Amino acid sequence: MSPIRNLALDYAGMADIELARCCAGGDAAAARHLVTANNQRLFRTAWSILKNRHEAEDVLQSCYAKALTAIGTFEGRSTLTTWLTRIAINEALARRRVNERRRKHLEAEGVQVLETYREQLAKGSHAPSPEAEAAREQLRGILERAIGDLPESFRTVFVLHEIEGVSVEEAAQALEIPTGTVKTRLMRARRKLQQALAPEVRTALTGTFPFAGLDCARMTERVVAEFLERRDGEAGEV
């Protein structure tokens, strides 16, 4: 029998371990809340490694599929968001390794490899946001290019801490590195960015790499549809 959704449940107010149990129990509303609440951070994290919107979205969907399949094993040793972030990082790194192997193979074959899949960092969502202004979009492009030019180890730490607001401790936990290393990389990332950006530009960082609106909704619906299909398939086997 399929689990019954309790419309009175306050998913936003739940402890992480309880939300994980709801998802593990097949609660589609809980899964929808989990995905919607984490889409932006996980997308930005994946982008910081791959620097490509399409690749980052693919990683995001793969991350959720893996996480929702294994969410029953979540023990609450870290926050649920940190747990998801670690999965996203591992998925993005795996995707990059595959891309690098493919590129090296093609180069060995004497084929010229072009970065045809890389989007312009100045672009926002696939669907244009009605309220976005041309000047702000241009500024976002400047910011995204500057952050994209950072070394990867600096870039991922910077995106997590400065854009997503993750604490140094949580970033260290997600990346599995010492807190001192996180602080050092942040300091060096800021130093590099200060050479290209005026100090007041930093206030616009929260608007960069947008993954909201229709993008977020589409990702949520895809993940929830897969979640329901898997849940119903498991129920049919009982």
Residue 43 CB coordination number (10 Å): 24
Instruction: Read off the tokens for 187.
Output: 């300091």
Q: Are the beta carbons of 224 and 28 closer than 8 angstroms? A: yes
The backbone torsions φ and ψ at residue 3, rounded to the nearest 5 degrees and listed phi first, read: -60, 145
pTM value is 0.69
Question: Closest Cα to residue 174, out of 187, 189, 161?
Answer: 161
Specify the higher pLDDT residue, 15 or 195.
15
Question: Closest Cα to residue 38, out of 226, 212, 225, 229?
Answer: 212
Q: What is the pLDDT at residue 3?
A: 47
Specify the higher pLDDT residue, 201 or 101.
101
Q: What is the pLDDT at residue 125?
A: 43
Confidence grade of residue 187 (pLDDT, cut at 50, 70, 90): very high
Q: How many residues would you count in the chain? A: 238
How many angstroms separate the CA atoms of 137 and 125, rounded?
Answer: 11
How many angstroms separate the CA atoms of 63 and 84, rounded?
Answer: 8
How many angstroms separate the CA atoms of 224 and 215, rounded?
Answer: 14
Helix (H, G, I), strand (E, B) or coil at 45: helix
pLDDT tens, residue by residue, 98-148: 888 776 655 454 333 333 323 333 344 444 444 446 666 767 777 788 888
The backbone torsions φ and ψ at residue 9, rounded to the nearest 5 degrees and listed phi first, read: -65, 135
Q: What is the pLDDT at residue 230?
A: 85
